[in-house]
Amino acid sequence: MVLIFLSLFLQLTETIDVKVTNVDVVVTDKSGKPVRNLTRDDFTILEDGKLQPVTNFYEVQPEAPAGAAPAPADANKNVEPPRPRRIVIFIDNYSLHPFRRHEVFAAIDRSFNELFRPGDQAMVAAWNRGLHIVIPFTGDREKLRAAMRRYEKDAGGGAPIEFEREHVMANIAQVLQAEFDARGGNNEREAIAHAESLARSYAQSVSMNEKALVKAMSTTLTTLAGLEGKKVMLVAGQQLPSRPGLEVFQYVDQLFSGRGVSNAQRGAFTWDITADLEKLARQANANDVTMYMIDGGDALRSISQTAESASVLNRSMEFTDLANTAQSLNTIARITGGMALVRTNNFDVALSTMANDLAAYYSLGYRPSSDTAGDHRIEVKVKNSDYRVRARTTYVAKSTKEQAEDRVIANAFHGLVPSDFAVKLDAERPAKHSETKWKVPIRITFPSDITLLPNGNDLEGSFTVILLVVDDDGTMSTVTRRQQPVKLPKAALPAMRKNPISFTAEMLVSPGAHYISVGIIDDVANTAGFARARVNAG
């Protein structure tokens, strides 16, 4: 009997939460207007190709304007007000031209009251070869608006990818010219090899930058993990090519056409980041985040603005450049149930769509047929074929371990993660440990009423401590996790309950400002408490 009991206990520490999977669904007509007052019978939902009964259903409708007549009784059935909303604005300031950034922020400002409702929480993050939190989650709408206006005015950045590409293309053109000057001979193959080498170096550079950008977006998504409510992330940038350098490889092929054997475009497959983009989208789905993607580049832009390079380019290369980024944005939006706005100067359309989606949608819930961890495919359909449906296409069944680690990471960024019980984290003044590290003594305290199970004359249980350090630039340490067994005689329980549990630890950090985040998990009850502390080392 004891062995069975302990086996059950161990299983509880790694259970998968499969109570109900909720999927938010946006339904529009052919003109793009929201379709209202549908019922659960209008929907079907499939998981991994298998039909699932809809167990939970309600509709969120926009709040009626002041003074408007109340809706008919039938229309109010299964209608609920919008859930608390968490909104992240992410600006790729490395690729976005300052003028275009101004246009994006101006559109956000025009749509501000529709996007950010009283009671919402919002944050702004920016990327410029490093992640910068412009303003952490706040419910102060005026503070948020002021921070965006200040950042839009003061931020640098602006299209260095385009400048780097023009420089590479000029060098490739010089290679061709040098081959011409040699007046034939056996230089064609050497010239082509040199040009392809320049294209590969450029593609590698762009690929590394785009992977770092995707990682920054991934980190930003993590700040939403463990938070309740409707969650969206708006991303605005100018370059996110699924195949970095493809247009430059195409340029080599066109430039050297007829002068030798050149198939440079095949090199673009080496740097394909589609898998990274799909992984990012699945992470968004795992955290119930819908992503809206804006191509902030000028729809009428040429791939190059210089007369020298423009004279040798054609429309097919411009299309390749635009389609390369459009494919990435559409991939992310499609998987997460959001929308991508590409090749347009009307940013108001994207923001209006996002505002409408936040205010009008259906929430469908079902009990998953599988408790297997990892990705599962979701497909939502409506009976009326004239309607269009947008919803996330995957969900992830997370173990309690994964959920707890998500919340510890999110807690490090904003401290908004709800706790089941109070946890106190005290950090002492850092002391120098080595030339590159500082030692931070910490004390963690939490209530001693963790859940204990009887085992003969004893009581047994355990709690897990999860620790993480996040720098101001968003760089995260490895998650440290340790399970602490608790075993005591039944007679000792009253004495244990008199005082909180408290213990000390030491953290090693680099110089600079950091947040230390801790999570305490009651392994038997699957409850958790979180705390964080800010330290400055050096």
Q: What percent of the chain has pLDDT over 70?
A: 84
For residue 71, tell me if it sits in a domain. no
pLDDT band at residue 304 under the 50/70/90 scheme: very low
Give the pLDDT score at 112: 93
What does the block give as tokens for 286? Answer: 């795992």
For residue 288, tell me if it sits in a domain. yes
CB 333 within 8 A of CB 291: yes
**Does residue 332 share a domain with residue 285?**
yes
For residue 273, tell me if it sits in a domain. yes
What does the block give as tokens for 315? Answer: 């429309």
Give the pLDDT score at 71: 52
Give the pLDDT score at 330: 95
pLDDT band at residue 2 under the 50/70/90 scheme: very low
Cα gap 28→34, rounded to integer Å: 4
SS3 70: coil
Give the pLDDT score at 475: 80
CB 442 within 8 A of CB 504: yes
pLDDT band at residue 309 under the 50/70/90 scheme: very low
Residue with tokens 């408790």: 371
Q: Which of 19-23, 299-303, 349-353 has the lowest mean pLDDT?
A: 299-303
**Does residue 508 share a domain with residue 487?**
yes
CB 447 within 8 A of CB 501: yes
**Does residue 141 share a domain with residue 271?**
yes
40: Cβ–Cβ under 8 A, 6 or more apart, which residues? 54, 57, 78, 364
Is the pLDDT confidence value at 258 over 90? no
Write phi, then psi, for 50 (nearest 5 degrees). Answer: -105, 135
Identify the H or E element spanning 512.
Answer: strand 512-522
Give the pLDDT score at 160: 67
Give the Cβ contact number of residue 40 at 10 Å.
18
Cα gap 291→289, rounded to integer Å: 6
Cα gap 88→230, rounded to integer Å: 11
SS3 150: helix
What does the block give as tokens for 165? Answer: 């590409």
**Does residue 248 share a domain with residue 111?**
yes
- Helices vs. strands in the chain: H and E counts, helices first: 13, 24
- Mean pLDDT, residues 37-61 taken together: 94
CA-based nearest residue to 252, from 175, 306, 335: 175
Give the pLDDT score at 342: 86
Beta bridge partners of 132: 126
Read off the pLDDT of residues 473-482 as tens digits, 9 standing for 90 and up: 778 888 899 9
Is the pLDDT confidence value at 159 over 70? no
CATH number at residue 227: 3.40.50.410
- Bigger pLDDT: 371 or 447? 447
Give the pLDDT score at 242: 93
> In Å, how far are 162, 218, 464, 525 from 490, measured between CA atoms?
70, 46, 22, 19
Give the pLDDT score at 77: 56
Cα gap 171→526, rounded to integer Å: 60
Read off the pLDDT of residues 425-466 as tens digits, 9 standing for 90 and up: 999 999 999 989 999 999 999 999 999 999 999 999 999 999
Distance, CA of 141 to chain centre: 22
Cα gap 297→322, rounded to integer Å: 9
pLDDT band at residue 288 under the 50/70/90 scheme: very high
CB 483 within 8 A of CB 519: no
Is the pLDDT confidence value at 351 over 60? yes
CATH number at residue 527: 2.60.40.1470
- Mean pLDDT, residues 111-139 taken together: 91
- Bigger pLDDT: 384 or 258? 384
> In Å, how far are 220, 221, 349, 371, 383 from 353, measured between CA atoms?
22, 21, 6, 34, 23
CB 57 within 8 A of CB 37: no
Is the pLDDT confidence value at 316 over 90? no
Q: Quick one: angle between helices 347-359 and 98-110, nearest 10? A: 40
SS3 45: strand
Is the pLDDT confidence value at 312 over 90? no
Give the pLDDT score at 158: 64
Distance, CA of 324 to chain centre: 21
Is the pLDDT confidence value at 145 over 70? yes
Give the pLDDT score at 178: 78
State the residue range of the domain holding 40: 27-55+375-397
Q: Which of 331, 359, 387 is the last residue of a domain?
A: 359
- Bigger pLDDT: 232 or 32? 232
Q: What percent of the chain has pLDDT over 90?
A: 53
Give the pLDDT score at 157: 66
Is the pLDDT confidence value at 373 over 90? no
**Does residue 469 share a domain with residue 326?**
no
Beta bridge partners of 426: 443
Give the pLDDT score at 12: 33
For residue 64, tell me if it sits in a domain. no
Give the pLDDT score at 75: 47
Identify the H or E element spanning 302.
Answer: none
237: Cβ–Cβ under 8 A, 6 or more apart, which residues? 91, 92, 94, 95, 96, 127, 213, 294, 295, 296
**Does residue 234 share a domain with residue 143?**
yes
Provide the pairing of β-strand 512-522 with 458-471. antiparallel
CA-based nearest residue to 463, from 421, 499, 492: 421
**Does residue 175 share a domain with residue 42?**
no
For residue 2, tell me if it sits in a domain. no
**Does residue 412 share a domain with residue 389?**
no
Read off the pLDDT of residues 327-342 as tens digits, 9 standing for 90 and up: 999 999 999 999 998 8
For residue 6, tell me if it sits in a domain. no
**Does residue 131 share a domain with residue 98?**
yes
**Does residue 249 share a domain with residue 315?**
yes
**Does residue 155 share a domain with residue 48?**
no
Number of domains in the chain: 3
**Does residue 93 share a domain with residue 45?**
no
**Counting Cβ atoms within 10 Å, is residue 153 exposed (0-12), middle (13-18) or buried (19+)?**
exposed
Identify the H or E element spanning 119.
Answer: none
Q: Which of 359, 383, 408 is the last residue of a domain?
A: 359
Q: Which of 367, 397, 427 is the last residue of a domain?
A: 397
Q: Which of 138-142, 243-247, 324-328, 472-476 has the lowest mean pLDDT?
A: 472-476
For residue 187, tell me if it sits in a domain. yes
For residue 452, tell me if it sits in a domain. yes
Q: Quick one: angle between helices 188-222 and 160-181, nearest 10? A: 170
Is the pLDDT confidence value at 133 over 50? yes
Cα gap 393→38, rounded to integer Å: 21
- Mean pLDDT, residues 226-250 taken together: 90
Write phi, then psi, for 98 (nearest 5 degrees). Answer: -55, -40
Q: Which of 7-16, 25-34, 439-448 has the lowest mean pLDDT?
A: 7-16
pLDDT band at residue 492 under the 50/70/90 scheme: very high
Cα gap 176→188, rounded to integer Å: 9
Is the pLDDT confidence value at 175 over 90? no
Is the pLDDT confidence value at 79 over 80? no
Give the pLDDT score at 88: 96
